[in-house]
Amino acid sequence: MKIFNFLLLSVALTTVSCSDDFLSLKPTDIIIEEEFFKNTSDAEAALMGVYSTLQKEEAFSNVRDAADIEWSMSGDMYEMDGSANRIELHSLTLPSTNTILRDVYTAAYYGISRANLVIHKVQEMPDGDERDKNVIVSQAKFLRALYYYRLVTYFGGVPLILEPLNASSDLQIPRSNAETIWKSIEDDLISAKTVLPKTWDVNNVGKVTSGACKALLNKAYLWQARYADVISVSKELFDEGIYDLLKDYRTVFLESNENNKEILFSTQFREGTDAEGNNLVKRTAPRGAPAEFTGGAAWSNFVPQKHWVDSHEKDASGKIKDKRYWASIIGPEEAHQDMPAFVMPNDVPAGWSISGYIMTKYWQKPTLNNSGVNAPIIRFAEILLNYAEALNEEGKSADAIDELNKVRERAGLDLLTNNLNKDQVLNAIFKERRMEFIWEPSGGFSDLNRRGRFLDFIKAERPNYKELNVSQKPWLNTTPILFPIPKDAWDRNKALEQNPHYTF
């Protein structure tokens, strides 16, 4: 008999219960494929197994992706522990043996393999309401598309696997080109957005919606510079009337306000000792600070760099006027937003933060166990800025400024006038991404990379630019910059070809 999901050797499916008004993703037991997928309850349980893959730290937890890759490579965040695999990334060395890139690649196929099994098996089920089965399949298609989006933007063309693999499958699978991967992503999302609901009831909040599909299409089209399509799908999303900016930036991220109208999709977590929590609080809270504020552990792994802090717009007195800073950062002699009794000392200990600043976007309270704060994947603010970028590229710079100003107005910043030229508008959009999305999957390396702006950005903004020896790293002079296919993947699949300028 075949064990459920051959590639993973043994995959634990999940039980369904309430978590963050959504789902419990706690693994249970090995399921034999022939004895499963009898009814829609089985299918829902298997679908929860696909959702659970998002919680892996190397998947969509905002640790390996947002912190280790996106914001450390751009140089706006610093990793305090200085582990070798992280130094390789933020020094832009990028060997094929880097364990973070390996784990991100592997986690994506882990999620894809689960999604493939659900899509295939549920479509084959003879019993169950067809509408219910289509909704389950459509959620799995979104999740598959999300993982392929990560793979194609980080690695370029990769093996396209759309069917479950088993012991008899040929596992020597060559890479498809990037265009083929993008087409698969679009097919999944276009199919799913016509089936999925605009909203879910309270017991299912956090599941994929039609709006989430349109938002990921927005991102996929933008990466491919298909600006007219970005505008079209953005309007579809706006017409739903479901999503909007919240008035208060901090409330977007609060554990007490999860799955709000600004969140199009996020990884769901639940505080506790089981696998449904994350360590975002531990990675944020300053190492050595009083436990009454930090809880069971505090590592201060990732801290904002001072040059990023200094890039905020200021008033005439020199004080930062950007509300986003005051909603998510604390520096010397500044109090925590939710725990005002905690004040950063004037002389911040080096062990707390090498820069003197701590991010509080995810550190909202002490926690003895793993944190339950959700990790945002796509926010409405990003859709607005993507839409603005597309409008600008389509010769509608004044309209683009209107969309950009919605984000600036929430931040308490002066509105931009509509007499800026196209290049000035694009620069303003990227400046807004930088200040809006710190320690989120958007706004860092990948957005700069897709427009070929990364090298110019780090030359202008990273104080250690000369130490990076960019001229001696030819992989940085490609457009877009691609990561190496991990050696570990090639060891298992010799049909893989390496990206230019790298070796296995």
Query: Could you say which DSSP state residue 40 is in?
Result: H
Helical pair 99-124 and 40-52, crossing angle rounded to 10 deg: 170
Tell me if 410 sits within 8 A of 323, measured CB to CB: yes
pLDDT of residue 168: 87
483 vs 96: CA distance, rounded Å: 8
Question: What percentage of the chain reaches a pLDDT higher than 90?
Answer: 90
Give pTM, 2 decimals. Answer: 0.94
**What DSSP string describes 68-99?**
IIIIHHHTSEEETT--HHHHHHHTT---TT-H
200 vs 418: CA distance, rounded Å: 39
**What DSSP string describes 151-166?**
HHHHHSS-----S---
Q: Could you report how far apart the first and last alpha carbons of the chain are, in Å?
A: 36
Token reading at 62: 């905002």
Residue-wise pLDDT for 451-475, tens only, equals 999 999 999 999 999 999 999 999 9
Mean pLDDT for the stretch of residues 113-117? 97
Is the pLDDT score of 10 beyond 60? no
Is the pLDDT score of 277 beyond 90? yes
Instruction: Specify which residues 335 forms β-bridges with.
Output: 343
Is the pLDDT score of 34 beyond 60? no
Q: b vs e for 127-145, b when ≥16 Cβ sit within 10 Å of the residue's Cβ?
A: ebeeeebbbbbbbbbbbbb
Query: Could you say which DSSP state residue 489 is in?
Result: H
Token reading at 53: 């893959």
Is the pLDDT score of 32 beyond 70? no
Token reading at 279: 């360590």
Residue-wise pLDDT for 77-110, tens only, equals 999 988 999 999 999 999 999 999 999 999 999 9
- Note the CATH number of domain 6-221+488-492: 1.25.40.390
pLDDT of residue 321: 98
Is the pLDDT score of 30 beyond 90? no
pLDDT of residue 26: 39
313 vs 325: CA distance, rounded Å: 10
Is the pLDDT score of 7 beyond 80? no
Element (H, E) at 27: strand 27-30
Residue-wise pLDDT for 48-81, tens only, equals 999 999 999 999 999 999 999 999 999 999 999 8
* Domain residue extents for the chain: 6-221+488-492
Tell me if 165 sits within 8 A of 487, measured CB to CB: no
Average pLDDT over the chain reads: 93
Is the pLDDT score of 1 beyond 50? no
Tell me if 124 sits within 8 A of 160, measured CB to CB: no
3-state DSSP call for residue 335? strand
pLDDT of residue 82: 86
Mean pLDDT for the stretch of residues 308-327? 98
Q: Give residue for tokens 């089209």.
A: 221
The set of long-range contacts for 29-34, using a CB threshold of 8 Å and a minimum separation of 24, is: 30/3, 30/4, 31/4, 32/1, 32/2, 32/3, 32/4, 33/1, 33/2, 33/3, 33/4, 33/117, 33/121, 34/1, 34/2
Residue-wise pLDDT for 139-179, tens only, equals 999 999 999 999 999 999 999 999 999 888 899 999 999 99
